[in-house]
Amino acid sequence: MIKKVYSVRYSDRLDVMSGNLMKDFTFPWKRGRAPRTEFRAVWNEQALGFHFDVDDEDIILHESEDPDEAVLGSDRVEIFLATKPDLKGPYYGAEMDPRGNVYDYKARYHREFDDGWSFGNLKFRCEIRDGGYTVKGRFAMDELNNLDLVKGKQIVAGVYRAEFGHNKKGDLTEEWISWVNPQKDEQDFHIPESFGMWKLDL
């Protein structure tokens, strides 16, 4: 079932830019090349660090009094971490927008969300730059272990991006970008086929 494997380098200082470059992101449900999306991750005994750098000439930041709705209506990058490859156990999502807001949750297949749940030790910061944005952060390894996400130096994970923008008519568009192409007709990342494997190298 696992289609792709990403090697997460060990880093004493959690130097994320020393991590292996993941750049093979695609539009699963749209023709054409996806805009540049780059991801790196490293780990040590204390934390798993990650870094996104994406190109986006039309950043959408949704305004809403509901903080979760604000994130879900915005451009964002996403990490899903699962206890089992078949999703027959809980999995966890962190969807982070360029303003530094996060929609995080615990979920079960299929699309049973516990929106009241949050990562206790997720830390990240964002920067909007000319032509795009970056998101850099870390998960505490203790928390990932306590959630039963690290098994034999492996983590079942998905890496995604919501790419919103405007078409030539000025209408809002919503496109979806993924590291693993689930090869399904329905637009849905919350399925086992969209996950890959992270291997924690020593």
What integer pLDDT is reported at residue 113 of this predicted model? Answer: 97
54 φ, ψ (degrees, to nearest 5): -130, 145
- Please write the tens of the pLDDT for every residue from 82-141: 999 999 999 999 999 999 999 999 999 999 999 999 999 999 999 999 999 999 999 999
Residues of the chain with pLDDT under 50: none
What integer pLDDT is reported at residue 202 of this predicted model? Answer: 86
What integer pLDDT is reported at residue 3 of this predicted model? Answer: 87
What integer pLDDT is reported at residue 182 of this predicted model? Answer: 97
Contact 104, 119 (CB under 8 A): yes
pTM of the model: 0.98
Overall domain count for the chain: 1
β-partners of residue 14 are: none
Q: Please, what is the end-to-end C-alpha distance for the chain in angstroms?
A: 25
**Residue 186 is part of a domain; what is its CATH number?**
2.60.40.1190
Q: Which domain holds residue 189?
A: 5-200
- Interatomic CA distance for residues 103 and 72, integer angstroms: 8
